[in-house]
Structure formats: C-alpha cells, structure tokens
C-alpha cells in the first residue's frame, strides 16, 4: 500500500529502524575514505587540502540529511511527481547549455544563487524515477514499449551530449538498459541494439569532437601524445603501479603531493588511493564497493513491488558502471571520460545525487521489511 497523508514521525522512526544498516555503514565508510583521499590529494598545498576535505565533509552531512528525507517521503510518492521532476531536470540541463560557463570545452556547472550544481548528476535520479513509472504502465515485452522506454531517456541523454559530457551520457545508457532488462525486455532486443551500435561506430566517429577522438586514440596508445592527451593516463598508471603491494602509506603519495597526477581529487581519486594503500588496499576497496552493490540488489530482490525492483536496477547499474569506468580509466582499462568515482571523488552534486538514489533504495528496503513484519502478525 502506498504511503499517503501527512508526515508521521512514528512512520519515519519505523522506517529508519528497518534500514539496511550494513549498506548504510559501508557507504559512510566509503565516503570517509574519500574525504581522507581528497585531503591527501591536496596535501601538496595544506590550505587547499583542508578546504577540499572540509567542503566534502559538509556535503556529506547534507547528503545524509537528503537520504533521511527521501526515506521519510518514500519512493511511492515520487512516482506521482515523476514527470514534473523529470521536466525540471531537463530544464536545468537546457539552462546549463545556455547559461553555464564553458570550462575546458564543456558546460556542466550551473550557478543557482550562492551554489553551483551539476544538473547531469540529478538527472540520473529523475531518469530512474520517470522511467520506472513508464515501464510499470508500459512493460517492455514488445518492441513499441521497449523503444518508448529508450525514448523517455533520450532527451536527457541528448542534452548531456550537447554539453558535451559523453561519460555521463554512457551512464544514462547503462541505467536505461538495466531498468529495461529487469522490467522484462526480451534479450533479443538488447542483442539487436548491440549489433546496431557496432554498425554505427564509423558514423559515430565522425560526430566526435577532436579531443574525444584523441582520448580514444590515447587510450589505445598513451605514448601517442605523452605530454598532452596521454599525460593523464600515463601519470595515473605510474601512481597505481608505484603503490605496489602495500602502498607508500597515507599522505606519502609522490604523484599527488608533487602534482604530477592531474585532477587527483576528482577524476583520479582511485590513483591516489592505490598509490598510498597498494594492491591489497585496492582489493579491500573493491570488496566494499562489491558489498554495497550486492546490498542494493538485495533490496530489489526483497521488494514485492515491481517499481522497487526497477528503481534498484537503475541505481545498481549507475553505481556499478561509474565504479567500473572510473577505476578502469585509472589503471588504463577504459578511456578517460572524467566520470567521478561514487562516494570517493570530490563533488557535492555527485555525492548528493547518489545519496538521494540510495534514499529511494532505503525506502524500498524499509518498506519491504515493514510489509514482511505486518504479514507475519
């Protein structure tokens, strides 16, 4: 039964009591590791290091408040507001193209009064909400609703590509496909999409900007431009490799402290961690990420509401792919796209958006636990 009526403190207290504490604890641990790495990444300049770490801690507090608020509201209520929420984020994405300043060839950050936000991060949440509502009404068991589901996500995907932010665009694709799969789309549709994507690669290449083409070429051969586009990839690999088995130790990373590693607190935060904590530390970090994703999936498996299952699929696909892409580009397995590592990379918008998404998951998990208890009475 959907939550209706005014806010009830006892309901919130009950939901918080039923939260997946293992998931919540693991996420907080990752965030604290991230703050420590952000401080280390800026330790070549102590004032800047304290500033970045303090800012990220403040965002963590805000994210925790947002998480509790989403759990209190409940994922069901967001279904009623799915289209207005999605429309608002599309408007923000459009305003980003019109009004946001261009930084390094992209327009991502939009000023809203005294704060700056990255609408493409929040669009991931609204995409999950609106696509869930669409797929419940139009199960993708035939080609028309399947293409309709893709069409729902296309406006956000297109506006992000125009920034241009191909990395976030790929995340949107992963979210959409994950949700379509759990909603019951036949596998043959995915195989057809893959075949069409491969066939269109030569055409897509012609639409890429020069720096995007260079990123792909440098991914295949970083020595192609070692002092330019390949510099980031080379320095990141050096940082990861120099960590060896046990790492250099916290605050002892040479690549970040001497500023050889570019964007160490955002794009290459994993490289900072790997240099200081080594292979074994990296394995433990990956294990925590794996545990977080597993707990998210468990929330979907426990839910008897198909909406909950579809939402969880989108959130799990989002976090998994960003983790895979961010770590992959740090070690040379994936092209550099500038995608943040969830919970670790510096950035308020990314942390707040993923916390809102986890709030939806927490609401689903708590609702399932409450219904189970009620059913046992």
Each residue's pLDDT expressed in tens, for the chain with a length of 377 residues: 344 444 455 555 556 667 889 999 999 999 999 999 999 988 778 888 999 999 999 999 999 999 999 998 989 999 989 999 999 999 999 999 888 787 766 778 787 777 788 999 999 999 999 999 999 999 999 999 999 999 999 999 999 988 888 889 999 999 999 999 999 999 999 999 889 888 887 777 776 777 667 777 777 667 666 666 677 788 888 888 888 899 999 988 887 776 777 778 888 999 999 999 999 999 999 999 999 999 999 999 999 999 999 999 999 999 999 999 999 988 888 888 878 999 999 999 999 999 999 999 999 988 765 554 554 43
Three-class secondary structure of residue 106 per DSSP: strand
How far apart (Å, rounded) are the C-alpha atoms in residues 179 and 132? 8
pLDDT at site 7: 47
What is residue 104's three-state secondary structure? coil
Residue 339: name the closest of 330, 178, 93 by CA. 330
Residue 229 pLDDT:
60
pLDDT score at 377: 37
Domain spans in the chain, listed from the N-terminal domain onward: 17-376
Pull the structure tokens for residue 153: 């996500």
Left (φ > 0), alpha (ψ -120 to 50) or beta: where does 360 sit? Answer: alpha
Torsional sign, CA 67, 69, 75, 80: negative
- Number of C-beta neighbours around residue 143 at 10 A: 13
- Which burial class, exposed, middle or buried, applies to 351 when counting CB atoms under 10 A from its CB (0-12, 13-18, 19+)? buried
Cβ neighbour number for residue 309 with a 10 Å cutoff: 20
H runs (alpha helix) in the chain: 9-17, 21-41, 46-73, 75-80, 82-99, 119-137, 143-161, 166-182, 187-199, 201-207, 210-220, 231-242, 254-257, 269-302, 306-331, 348-376
pLDDT of residue 13: 59
Q: Are 179 and 135 in contact (CB under 8 A)?
A: yes
d(CA 218, CA 332): 10
């Amino acid at each position: 039964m959907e939550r209706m009526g005014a806010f009830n403190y006892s309901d919130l207290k009950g939901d918080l009591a039923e939260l997946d504490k293992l998931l919540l604890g693991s996420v907080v641990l990752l965030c604290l590791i991230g703050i420590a790495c952000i401080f280390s990444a800026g330790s070549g300049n102590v004032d800047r290091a304290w500033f970045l770490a303090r800012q990220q801690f403040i965002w963590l507090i805000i994210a925790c408040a947002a998480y509790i608020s989403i759990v209190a509201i409940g994922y069901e209520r967001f279904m009623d507001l799915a289209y207005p929420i999605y429309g608002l984020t599309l408007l923000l994405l459009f305003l980003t193209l019109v009004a946001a300043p261009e930084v390094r060839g992209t327009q991502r950050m939009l000023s809203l009064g005294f704060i700056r936000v990255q609408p493409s991060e929040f669009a991931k949440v609204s995409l999950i909400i609106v696509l869930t509502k669409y797929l419940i009404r139009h199960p993708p068991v035939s080609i028309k609703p399947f293409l309709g589901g893709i069409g729902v996500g296309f406006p956000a995907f297109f506006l992000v590509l125009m920034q241009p932010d191909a990395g976030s665009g790929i995340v949107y694709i992963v979210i959409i496909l994950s949700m379509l799969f759990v909603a019951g789309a036949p596998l043959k549709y995915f195989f057809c999409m893959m075949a069409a994507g491969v066939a269109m690669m030569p055409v897509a290449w012609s639409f890429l900007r020069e720096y995007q083409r260079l990123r792909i070429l440098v991914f295949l051969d970083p020595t192609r431009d070692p002092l330019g586009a390949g510099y980031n990839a080379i320095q990141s690999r050096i940082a990861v490799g120099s960590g060896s088995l046990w790492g250099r130790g916290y605050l002892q990373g040479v690549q970040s402290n001497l500023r050889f590693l570019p964007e160490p607190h955002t794009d290459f935060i994993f490289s900072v961690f790997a240099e200081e904590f080594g292979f074994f530390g990296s394995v433990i970090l990956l294990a925590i990420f794996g545990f977080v994703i597993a707990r998210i999936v468990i929330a979907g498996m426990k839910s008897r509401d198909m909406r909950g299952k579809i939402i969880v699929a989108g959130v799990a696909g989002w976090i998994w792919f960003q983790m895979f892409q961010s770590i992959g580009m740090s070690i040379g397995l994936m092209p550099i796209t500038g995608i943040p590592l969830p919970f670790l990379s510096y950035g308020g918008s990314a942390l707040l958006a993923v916390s809102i998404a986890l709030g939806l998951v927490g609401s689903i998990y708590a609702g399932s636990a409450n219904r189970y208890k009620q059913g046992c009475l």
